[in-house]
Structure 1
């Protein structure tokens, strides 16, 4: 029998939805910009949550360092807002981390695009059926 949808996963999904909304509607700091919550990992005891985010203008952690600092300073405020809006006994302590996987994905996409362009310049067939002739 497959393992049921765990409580930690349900809490993580709830936190992801609510934090995305709270950050956009409640935080007024202009340094945050367009932030998207990509995932939340909640500890088994529901005491801590690692919140991963991306930022529209940032592809690396160095560019988003200031945003992470602002979000971590606002973690107490966000936690208080979550406790008022939910029926959870306790809301996990929040810690924000930049998710660099989106930037790595863009880099990989760029490498693939450049390799395909190089193949086309060399006259290699990339999108054609191998059985067809030029």
Structure 2
């Protein structure tokens, strides 16, 4: 079993090499239909398996085509990794679509929408109420200390 430091170094190396392959190495036209970027690589502790998380920008059809192209290019990616990265065994490569950026953008837009929908007077009233509650709690605690 490899150390966690070695696993993270191999993970970063695979991430860099696969990113370069996406730019110039993979000739499949389906991979070019959507903008693809490698967001993360998760390498198993024994360095036998590597999950490559990719973020694909585009329509749902473009995402599906791009994922199909990446899955068909898995053998090429693994053989290229074997030549570029000197390991005893080249890890099995699995491409996984990462939608975390999309979810994060959606959450931020919902937060912005909520903050715009909320009236400034409501927020000020809530702050005043919280301050009053805190002050009452503080005064109540002082009265208990005097007893």
Shorter-chain-normalised TM-score: which range?
0.7 to 0.9
Aligned counterpart, 1:28? 27
The alpha-carbon deviation at position 5 of structure 1 amounts to: 5.0
In the alignment, structure 1 segments of 5+ residues that lack a partner are none
Q: Is the 8 A contact 1:72 1:94 kept in 2?
A: no
| Matched positions, count | 121
Aligned counterpart, 1:81? 80
Q: Is the 8 A contact 2:78 2:92 kept in 1?
A: yes
Q: Is the 8 A contact 1:19 1:78 kept in 2?
A: yes
Structure showing greater radius of gyration is 2
Larger helix fraction of residues = 2
Once the two structures are superposed, residues 62-116 of structure 1 have per-residue CA deviations (whole angstroms, 9 ceiling, x without a partner) of 8623322211110110111111122222210100000011111011011011112
Residues 64-79 of structure 1: matches in 2 within 5 Å?
64-79=63-78
Once the two structures are superposed, residues 34-59 of structure 1 have per-residue CA deviations (whole angstroms, 9 ceiling, x without a partner) of 2100111111111111110001225x
Please report the TM-score for the alignment, with normalisation by the length of structure 2: 0.72
Return the alpha-carbon distance in structure 2 between the equivalents of residues 43 and 86 of structure 1: 16
Please report the TM-score for the alignment, with normalisation by the length of structure 1: 0.78
SS in structure 1 of the partner of residue 45 of structure 2: coil
Return the alpha-carbon distance in structure 2 between the equivalents of residues 25 and 103 of structure 1: 25
Q: Is the 8 A contact 1:50 1:96 kept in 2?
A: yes
In the alignment, structure 2 segments of 5+ residues that lack a partner are 128-147
Aligned counterpart, 2:6? 7
The alpha-carbon deviation at position 125 of structure 1 amounts to: 7.7
Q: CA RMSD in A?
A: 2.3
